[in-house]
Amino acid sequence: MKTLKLRRFDDLHVHFRGLKSKTPAYYEDNLMEQVAPFTMNYCGRATIMPNPKPRHILCVKDVKRYKSHIEMVRNSVSPQPSFDPIMTIEISDSTTLKIIEEAHSFGVIAGKIYPTGIYGKGLSDFFSYKSWQKFGKMNDLGMIVLIHGELDLPGVLVTNREKIFLENVFIPFLSRYSRSFPNLRIVLEHVSSVSGVETVKCFGKNVAATITAHHLCTTLNNVVGKGTQPHNMCNPIPKDYHDMYCLQETAMSGNPKFFLGSDSAPHIRKNKECAHGACGAFTAPILPQLLAEIFENAGKLDKLEDFTSRFGAEFYGLPLNEGKIKLVKKDWIIPEQYGDVVPFMAGQKLQWQLLLE
Ligand SMILES: [Zn+2]
């Protein structure tokens, strides 16, 4: 039987949600025990997004509590996986320089920015003096800026949000900041379009992008082409075929500026299958298997390990993970549901299975 051994992954963008709580109002987001073990099984590290409910991760106190929850879940998995979370804080209008310093001294190496309008408050102005000071502080501390690259403006279609962000914020921002902070590392997260890829290529090696597995295999047709498919609905929304093919080519090109960030984002079934359904594709249970299939179909299986386990670590300045994971070539059907969550491609066939030792 054909097997594939890969270095343990770094998933440099993942949502672990929160712990099961006794407060039912928050139940919808309390999925960590259900979802995080999937990632922990094949990743040596993962960058944990700072947006659990009811409270985002905004300061060192939040980070400490959230990290200990994640470690508690990891320690309950048997056998205990070799996994370390890369903690982040959200950088918003209310973040102070002291907050950034304190978080950094606790080991936070990245700050996440949601432009205002995408998910609540976020950062309203990348170019203000206050924002300038925050980026300067992160630059001095050697931290990484993770940016959700979409702008939600009146009159702009959801499919154009990334392009509008690039034109109005990202390109002017990089042009201006790269003179003052040439070493500030910036990641355009879940890049989803040709323009996003081309923009990242244009700048220096301190500018990189993550690519998800689902954007490598979906277009807008998979979201609204045959009825609505809420479990494929995610931000940024999958786009046109030329965007998908460009992302495939880029992920498999061996360009170290592009690496894995799955953006696996679970929501419970009833919050996906309803009016105003939540956005996010839950790919964590099938990530290595799906990526192996996509890369193999393109004849680029030899490029997979660099994408999942090398380029991201090198960009972050971390040693490569030590352990390996093993996949075997054997068809299987993805379950319709894992706990309360419907996985991406539920009920469909994949060709590779992950062997847990
Ligand atoms: Zn995300």
Q: Is the dihedral of CA 117, 123, 128, 132 positive or negative?
A: negative
What percent of the chain clears pLDDT 70, i.e. is strictly above it?
96
In this prediction, residue 257 carries a pLDDT of 98
pLDDT band at 259 (very low <50, low <70, confident <90, very high): very high
Give the distance (Å) from ligand 1 centre to CA of residue 51.
9
In this prediction, residue 318 carries a pLDDT of 98
Give the distance (Å) from ligand 1 centre to CA of residue 106.
23
Give the distance (Å) from ligand 1 centre to CA of residue 46.
12
Distance in angstroms (rounded) separating the CA atoms of residues 55 and 71: 19
pLDDT band at 357 (very low <50, low <70, confident <90, very high): low
pLDDT band at 43 (very low <50, low <70, confident <90, very high): very high
In this prediction, residue 250 carries a pLDDT of 98
Give the distance (Å) from ligand 1 centre to CA of residue 24.
24
Write down the pTM of the prediction.
Answer: 0.97
Distance in angstroms (rounded) separating the CA atoms of residues 213 and 169: 26
Q: By residue range, what is the domain housing residue 222?
A: 3-355
- Would the pLDDT of 53 be above 90? no
As for how many domains the chain has, the answer is 1
Give the distance (Å) from ligand 1 centre to CA of residue 242.
23
In this prediction, residue 55 carries a pLDDT of 85
For the chain, the three-class secondary structure string (H helix, E strand, C coil) is: CCEEEEECEEEEEECCCCCCCCCHHHHHHCCHHHHHHHHHHHEEEEEECCCCCCCCCCCHHHHHHHHHHHHHHHHHCCCCCCCEEECEEECCCCCCHHHHHHHHHCCCCEEEECECCCCCCCECCCCCHHHHHHHHHHHHHCCEEEECCCCCCCCCCHHHHHHHHHHHHHHHHHHHHHHHCCCCEEEECCCCCHHHHHHHHHCCCCEEEEECCHHHCCCCHHHHCCCCCHHHCCCCCCCCHHHHHHHHHHHCCCCCCEEECCCECCCCHHHHCCCCCCCCCCCHHHHHHHHHHHHHHCCCHHHHHHHHHCHHHHHHCCCCCCCEEEEEEEEEECCCCECCECCCCCCCEEEEEEECC
In this prediction, residue 28 carries a pLDDT of 62
Residue 324 is encoded by which pair of tokens?
């390996």
Give the distance (Å) from ligand 1 centre to CA of residue 282.
11
> Tokens 């400490």 belong to which residue?
64
In this prediction, residue 177 carries a pLDDT of 84
Across all residues in the chain, what is the average pLDDT?
Answer: 95
Residue 77 near residue 104 (C-beta atoms within 8 A): no
**Mean pLDDT in residue range 237-257:** 98
Residue 274 is encoded by which pair of tokens?
């309803």
Strands 43-48 and 110-113: unpaired
> Tokens 């929850």 belong to which residue?
69
In this prediction, residue 134 carries a pLDDT of 96
**Mean pLDDT in residue range 333-349:** 97
**Mean pLDDT in residue range 27-47:** 92
**For 89-139, what is each residue's pLDDT tens digit?**
999 999 999 999 999 999 999 999 999 866 667 899 999 999 999 999 999
- Would the pLDDT of 309 be above 70? yes
- Mark residue 339 as left, alpha or beta (left: phi above 0; alpha: psi -120 to 50; beta: remaining): left
Which of 29, 84, 243, 263 is flagged as catalytic?
A: 263
What percent of the chain clears pLDDT 90, i.e. is strictly above it?
89
- Would the pLDDT of 206 be above 70? yes
Give the distance (Å) from ligand 1 centre to CA of residue 181.
26
pLDDT band at 54 (very low <50, low <70, confident <90, very high): confident
Give the distance (Å) from ligand 1 centre to CA of residue 118.
11
Told to judge if 302 belongs to the known catalytic residues of this protein, a careful annotator would answer no
In this prediction, residue 356 carries a pLDDT of 81
**For 179-204, what is each residue's pLDDT tens digit?**
888 889 999 999 999 999 999 999 99
CATH value at residue 129: 3.20.20.140
Distance in angstroms (rounded) separating the CA atoms of residues 53 and 42: 26
Give the distance (Å) from ligand 1 centre to CA of residue 49.
7
- Would the pLDDT of 22 be above 70? no
- Would the pLDDT of 11 be above 60? yes
Residue 12 is encoded by which pair of tokens?
């440099």
